[in-house]
Structure 1
Amino acid sequence: MAYTVGDALLDQLADHGVRTCFGVPGVHNLPFWVGAGTGRRPRVLGVRHEQAAGYAADAAARATGGLGVALTTTGPGFANALAAFGEAWASRSPLLLVSSETPLAPRRRSGHDDGLLHGMRSQAAAVEHGFGARAVSARDGEQALAALPELAAHALAAGRPAYLGVPADVLASAWSGAVPGPAAPPPVGPDPAAVAAAATALRGRRVALWAGARAVAAEDDLRRLALLLGALVVPTYQARGLLADLPGTVVAPPHEPVVAAAIAACDVLLVVGDDLHGMTTRNWRMPVPGTVVALTDDEHASLGDLDLAARVTGDVATSVRALLDALGETTPTAPAPDGAALTAQVLDDVAGDPRTAAAAQFVRTVEDGWPADGALVVDMCVAGYWLGGYSRQPRARRLQYPVGWGTLGFGLPAAIGPAAHGIPTLAVVGDGGAAMGLGELATYRQERLPLALLVVSDGGYGMLRYDQDVAGDPHRGVDLVEPVWEDLARAFGLRCTRTDDPGAGLARALTQARDGLACGDQWLVVLEQRFRPPRTTSPRWREA
C-alpha cells in the first residue's frame, strides 16, 4: 500500500506526542482512517458528531497539557466542529483541527469550490476571520507537511487552536519526500525593560496573584513567586487546583464579596497567563488594586483595557523566571493572606444559606466522590457553575469547564478526551445540555471508556429559567421533556441509578460509578435537584 500524505501527517502527529485523535470519517478524509493506529501513529477514536471530536480533543489537551487533535471531513463536517473550535479559542486550549477540503482537480478556474460536494468558499477563512486563528489551506503535500509542525508549535506556544486544511486528493496522494519534524518553539523571551518595570511595581507591595490557564505550565516557578511576594493567589476557572497547597490560595471565586474585597485591598494585581475575561471579572466591574501588572503570552489580549504599570509579553514560564531573577531576595511586606480562611468563610456562608445549602452539599459530595487522579468535566448548567466556581481541586488540569466561551453541550462529549487517555472521568451535565450529545453514549460504550455521566435533572434549562424569574418573565422555552434515563442507559449498555439526595444518596451512586470502572461498567447517575445559581452567574453579579 502506498505511503500517502495522510500517513505522513499522522507520523508528524506522533512526533508531537499525539496518541489519540478524535474524528468522524467522511468520503474525503478516509485516508486518515487507513493509516491510523499502525506502528507509532495515533489512533483515531471515532465519535458520533464532529462537535464531539472538537470538544474531546480540547479536553484531552486541557487534561494532559499536550496537543489535542480533531479530524473532520469537508464542509458540513468541518462546520460542525466550529463551536468546539471557539470554545478552545476562548479557553486557551492547544487544539489542532485538521480537515479535508474539496479535491483540487474538479475545482472551477475561479478557485471556488462551493458547487462541489461539501464545498464552501473557504474553510480557513471561517476560522481566520471568525476567531483570528492561524489557518492554512494547503495546495499540495509539501505545503501541508510544512504547515503541520508550524501550526502545532503555534497552538502549544500560544494556547490557541489552529487549522490545517488538505484537499481530499492531496490527502490520498502518494508521498515520497521528506517528512518535517516538530518545529522549534518561537523565541519569545520577555523584554528586560518590561521585566524590570514589573519588578519595581511589585517590590515591597501587597500582591494579589491572578492565575489563568496559561499559568498552569509554570506552576513550580509560580509557587516560588507567590511565596516570595507573600501573595494572595486567585486561580481562575481554567487554573483551578493550581498552587492548591499554598496557604495564600483562595478556593472561591472572585465574584464573592469577601474575595473581591481581599483582592481590592492589595496594592498590586499581578495577572499571570490570563486575559481577564468578562465572566471572571463581572464584565470588568470587579474592583482592582490601583496598580496592575500582567505577564501574558498573547500580545493582543485586551486585559480588560486596564491601565498597566507593566506588561511582560512572552512565554509565561520564561517570564515568571525572569521576574524572579529581577526581584532577587525581596521580603514580603506582610504575611500572605489566609486563603484557607477566606475560602472557609465563603463555603460556610453558602452552606448556611437555606437557598444554597443543597448546592453546597452537592459540591462537597462530588469533591469527595471522585478520585484525585481523575478528571471532572462539567457543562454550562447550574450544577456545573457550582462545581466550576466552588469545588476544591487537588491539582491543576483536573477540572474542565467551558467558560471560556460559555459552550452549552460541552460536558458529555468533552469527557471522552481525558477518558481516552486512561484518566477516570466524571462528566457533570444538566438534562438540557445532555440532550445535545446523547449520541456520544454510543462512543462511551463502544470504546469502553473509563467514565461516568452525572445528569443533574431540573426539567430543562435551569439557569435560563432563573433568568426569566429574575426578569419577571413567564417561562418560555426552558421547560423540556426529558428521556426516561433508565431506558436510555439500557439502550446504550450503561447502568443507571437515580437519587434526589445531593448528600448520602449521591455519594452512594458515585461510589458505584467509581468502583464500576474497574470491571468495565459505565454508570449514568441521575440527580433530581433544582439548585439556585451561584454568585458566579450574571443575574447575581450585582447582589451585595
Structure 2
Amino acid sequence: MTVRNGGDLVVESLTALGATTVFGLPGQHALGAFDALRRSQLAYVGLRVENNAGFAADAFARVTGTAAPLLVSTGPGALMTLAALQESAAASAPVVAVGSQVPVAGLGGGRHGYLHELADQKASFRDVVKSVHPVRTASQIPSAIAAAWESALTAPFGPVWVEIPQDVLLGAVDVPPVTALEAAPRPLRPRPELIAEAAARLSAAERPAIVAGGGVIRSGGTAELLALAEKLAAPVATTFGGKGAFPWEHPLSLQSWLEDRHTTEFLADADVLLVVGSGLGELSSNYHTFRPRGRVIQIEADLGKLESNHPGLGIHSDAALALRALGEAVERRDDPAAPKAAAELLARVRDRLATQDLDTEQGVVAAVRQALPQDSPSFWDMTILAYWAWSAWPGPMHSAQGAGGLGYGFPAALGAAAADRGRPVLAVSGDGGAMYSIAELATARQYDLPVTWLIVDDGGYGILREYMTDAFGAATATELSRPDFVALAESFGVPAVRTTTERLAADLGAALASPGPSVVVLPAVLRMFAPTHLADGG
C-alpha cells in the first residue's frame, strides 16, 4: 500500500463528495493538502489574494448549485477570507472552506511562537460561517469534510469552515483511499397545518401580491412560483437577489423596482402578501420604509430571518417545497384587474424616472444588456452601475449586495468561468472596486478564463461621493488616483480597450465574443436615480 498523508484524505474526501474544482492559495501550514492536489483529479484555480479566492468559490457555488471547495492556509491567509465568507453567508452560497492550523502541539490558546498562530482561529469564523468543523486527527478528516459539505448544502445554504493542523495534513496515514462519502442534505419541508392556513388566506385574498427572493432560485422553485402566481393572479416583485425567479416581462411581473415608492406602496396595499425566500431586509424593504397593511405570509429556510422584520404567518421551509404545496392547496382566482394593476405600476415607475434626466444611465444599462449573450452570467461589484442593475437589469445577476463588500465582481466572474468555459462571463466594477482585485488579471491570463471586465472609471468611490454630497454638501476621501487600466491590463497580456457610452455596446460585445479574458474601460460619471422611499413622497 502506498503511504499517503492527511492531505490526501482531504482531496480524496472532496472528490468522493463530487467536487471537481478547488479554489485557493497555498501557505506553509497547508502545503500537505496542496501537494495532495497534484495526485488528484481535482482542477485547481489559484487566485492571488485569499479573499478573491473566496469570491471565486462563492460564484462557482452560485452558478453550479453545489458546494465549492476553498483551500487556504493559517492565520493571515485564513483571516483574509472572512469578507468573502461573509458575502457567501449573506447570499447563502455553499462554500466549503478548508483551512490549515498550526501543529497540534500549538493549539489550546497559548502563545507557542508558531508562524501565523492565533489563540483561537476558529473563533474568528463562528460569527461568519454556518458551521465550524475542527479536525485534530487524520481519521477525523473524511467525516468532518462530509459533515461540512452536508451543512453547506442543507437549506439555508451557506459557507462552512474546516480546520486541520499542519502536522495532521503532513502525517502519514496507513488507510485505504476514501472512495465514498455520504453527505445528503436534509430536506426542509413545510408543516401541513401552516400550508393549509396560508392557502386559505391567499385563496380568500382580494389583492394578493408576492415578493420573491433568492431562496426561490437556490431551491429551484421558479416553476412553482410561476404556477402559484398565475393560479392566484398575484403580481410578483423580485428582490435584487431574486432576479430571475419570475419572468421579467410576464403580465403579473412587478419587476425589481423595490427602491421606488410606487412599488413599496403597491406591496404595502396587498391584503395578503406572500414573501418567499427573502427576509425583507434593508434593500428589499426600501430601507425599512415598507409597512405592510395587510397580512403577511413568509416562507423562509433561514430560521433567524423568519418574521425578523415583519410579523406574519411564518413557514420555516425550503422555498420550492412550500411553493409546490401551496400551489396544490390554493383555489384558483380569476382577476383580470391584476395584470392591469401591474402594468400601471410599471408605467408610474417609468414616468418617475423620465423626470430625472437619466438617459445616459439607462442607456448604459441597455448597452450592457445588448452586448451580453442571454445565457451568460454577470457579476457586479458595489458600484453605481450595479445599483442601477439591481432595479433595471431584466434577468438573473449576481452581486455583493448580501454583505456589501468591494472587490466581488471580477474574481467572482473568474469562478463562474471556471465552472463553464463554454460561454463568456461579464464582470462589472467601478475604478475603486477594481483596485481590490486588479491582481487577478494574472489569474485570468494564467487560466485563460473567458471573462470580460467592464470597469466604469469615474475617478473615485462614486456611490459614496453621492451619499456624502447629499448628506453633507461635500465628499471626503472619495477621490482616487488610479492607473491607466487599459495599459495595466495589457501589461498582464490581457487585451483592453477604452470606450465611450456611444460605442459601449459594440466594444463590449466584441470583447465578449473574443476568447480568453479582456477588459473594457468606460470613463463616465453616472448618477443614481433620486431617492424613492415612500417617506420621500417624491
Q: Using structure 1 for the length normalisation, give the TM-score.
A: 0.91
Residues 271/465 of structure 1: CA separation in 2 closer, same or farther (3 Å cut):
same
Partner of 1:145: 142
Partner of 1:363: 365
How many Å separate the matches in 2 of 1:182 and 1:537? 49
How many Å separate the matches in 1 of 2:302 and 2:477? 39
1:149, distance to aligned residue in structure 2 (A): 1.5
1:47, distance to aligned residue in structure 2 (A): 0.3
How many Å separate the matches in 1 of 2:20 and 2:431? 32
**SS of match in other structure, 1:117:** coil
1:276 equivalent to 2:271? Answer no
**SS of match in other structure, 2:133:** strand
User: 1:445–1:494: 8 Å Cα contact kept in structure 2?
Assistant: yes
Q: Give the letter for the 2:225 counterpart.
A: L
User: 1:19–1:42: 8 Å Cα contact kept in structure 2?
Assistant: yes
Residues 341/62 of structure 1: CA separation in 2 closer, same or farther (3 Å cut):
farther
Partner of 1:491: 491
Partner of 2:380: 378
Residues 487/274 of structure 1: CA separation in 2 closer, same or farther (3 Å cut):
same
Partner of 1:542: 536
Partner of 1:212: 213
How many Å separate the matches in 2 of 1:373 and 1:341? 30
1:344, distance to aligned residue in structure 2 (A): 5.4
Q: Give the letter for the 1:381 counterpart.
A: T
1:234, distance to aligned residue in structure 2 (A): 1.2
How many Å separate the matches in 2 of 1:283 and 1:70? 33
**SS of match in other structure, 1:452:** strand
How many Å separate the matches in 1 of 2:524 and 2:6? 52
How many Å separate the matches in 1 of 2:350 and 2:452? 27
1:533 equivalent to 2:532? Answer no
Cα deviation digits, residues 193-238 of structure 1 (max 9, x gap): 2222211221131322111111112112222111111121111112
How many Å separate the matches in 2 of 1:303 and 1:86? 22
Please list, as runs of the form range in 1=range in 2, the aligned pairs for 1:125-524 lying within 5 A after superposition: 125-128=123-126, 130-131=127-128, 133-157=130-154, 158-175=156-173, 176=175, 179=178, 181-205=181-205, 206-216=207-217, 217-244=220-247, 246-308=250-312, 310-327=313-330, 329-333=331-335, 335-338=337-340, 339=342, 342-343=345-346, 345-347=348-350, 349-350=352-353, 352-353=354-355, 355-393=357-395, 398-421=396-419, 422=421, 423-501=423-501, 504-517=502-515, 520=516, 522-524=517-519
Partner of 1:101: 101
Q: Give the letter for the 1:19 counterpart.
A: T
User: 1:71–1:99: 8 Å Cα contact kept in structure 2?
Assistant: yes
Partner of 1:9: 10
Residues 333/355 of structure 1: CA separation in 2 closer, same or farther (3 Å cut):
closer
User: 2:409–2:428: 8 Å Cα contact kept in structure 1?
Assistant: yes
How many Å separate the matches in 1 of 2:80 and 2:110? 21
Q: Give the letter for the 2:266 counterpart.
A: A
Residues 358/229 of structure 1: CA separation in 2 closer, same or farther (3 Å cut):
same
Residues 171/207 of structure 1: CA separation in 2 closer, same or farther (3 Å cut):
farther
User: 2:264–2:286: 8 Å Cα contact kept in structure 1?
Assistant: no
User: 2:133–2:144: 8 Å Cα contact kept in structure 1?
Assistant: yes
User: 1:159–1:214: 8 Å Cα contact kept in structure 2?
Assistant: no
Q: Using structure 2 for the length normalisation, give the TM-score.
A: 0.92
1:122 equivalent to 2:123? Answer no
Residues 113/374 of structure 1: CA separation in 2 closer, same or farther (3 Å cut):
farther
How many Å separate the matches in 1 of 2:532 and 2:81? 27
How many Å separate the matches in 2 of 1:392 and 1:341? 18
Partner of 1:77: 77
Q: Give the letter for the 1:360 counterpart.
A: Q
User: 1:256–1:535: 8 Å Cα contact kept in structure 2?
Assistant: no
1:341, distance to aligned residue in structure 2 (A): 5.7
Q: Give the letter for the 1:330 counterpart.
A: R
Residues 318/112 of structure 1: CA separation in 2 closer, same or farther (3 Å cut):
farther
1:354, distance to aligned residue in structure 2 (A): 5.2
How many Å separate the matches in 1 of 2:455 and 2:487? 14
Q: Give the letter for the 2:221 counterpart.
A: A
Please list, as runs of the form range in 1=range in 2, the aligned pairs for 1:47-86 lying within 5 A after superposition: 47-86=47-86
Q: Give the letter for the 2:322 counterpart.
A: S
Partner of 1:92: 92
Residues 282/260 of structure 1: CA separation in 2 closer, same or farther (3 Å cut):
closer
1:334, distance to aligned residue in structure 2 (A): 5.0
How many Å separate the matches in 2 of 1:404 and 1:92? 9
1:24, distance to aligned residue in structure 2 (A): 0.4
Cα deviation digits, residues 143-181 of structure 1 (max 9, x gap): 221121222122112211111111111122333157451
How many Å separate the matches in 2 of 1:222 and 1:4? 48
Residues 414/229 of structure 1: CA separation in 2 closer, same or farther (3 Å cut):
same
How many Å separate the matches in 2 of 1:453 and 1:154? 33
Residues 512/428 of structure 1: CA separation in 2 closer, same or farther (3 Å cut):
same
Residues 11/336 of structure 1: CA separation in 2 closer, same or farther (3 Å cut):
farther
User: 2:240–2:256: 8 Å Cα contact kept in structure 1?
Assistant: no
My pick for the range that moved more, 265-274 or 187-196, is: 187-196
Structure 2 gap ranges (5+): none
How many Å separate the matches in 2 of 1:289 and 1:273? 20
Q: Give the letter for the 1:531 counterpart.
A: L
1:187, distance to aligned residue in structure 2 (A): 4.5
My pick for the range that moved more, 242-251 or 174-183, is: 174-183
Residues 485/132 of structure 1: CA separation in 2 closer, same or farther (3 Å cut):
closer
Residues 55/340 of structure 1: CA separation in 2 closer, same or farther (3 Å cut):
farther
How many Å separate the matches in 2 of 1:385 and 1:283? 14
Residues 292/71 of structure 1: CA separation in 2 closer, same or farther (3 Å cut):
same
1:101, distance to aligned residue in structure 2 (A): 1.1
Cα deviation digits, residues 319-378 of structure 1 (max 9, x gap): 222222332x4334555435466445534643x345321110011111111011111101
Residues 289/114 of structure 1: CA separation in 2 closer, same or farther (3 Å cut):
farther
Paired residues in the alignment total: 527
Identity of aligned residues (%): 32
Cα deviation digits, residues 368-407 of structure 1 (max 9, x gap): 11011111101101111112221111xxxx4111110111
How many Å separate the matches in 1 of 2:299 and 2:498? 46
How many Å separate the matches in 1 of 2:430 and 2:302? 34
User: 1:389–1:536: 8 Å Cα contact kept in structure 2?
Assistant: no
Residues 38/228 of structure 1: CA separation in 2 closer, same or farther (3 Å cut):
farther
User: 1:73–1:100: 8 Å Cα contact kept in structure 2?
Assistant: yes
Structure 1 gap ranges (5+): none
1:471, distance to aligned residue in structure 2 (A): 1.8
Q: Give the letter for the 1:4 counterpart.
A: N
**SS of match in other structure, 2:4:** coil
**SS of match in other structure, 1:294:** strand
Residues 333/341 of structure 1: CA separation in 2 closer, same or farther (3 Å cut):
closer
User: 1:136–1:163: 8 Å Cα contact kept in structure 2?
Assistant: yes
How many Å separate the matches in 2 of 1:59 and 1:200? 39
Q: Give the letter for the 2:392 counterpart.
A: Y
User: 1:347–1:360: 8 Å Cα contact kept in structure 2?
Assistant: no
How many Å separate the matches in 2 of 1:472 and 1:111? 46
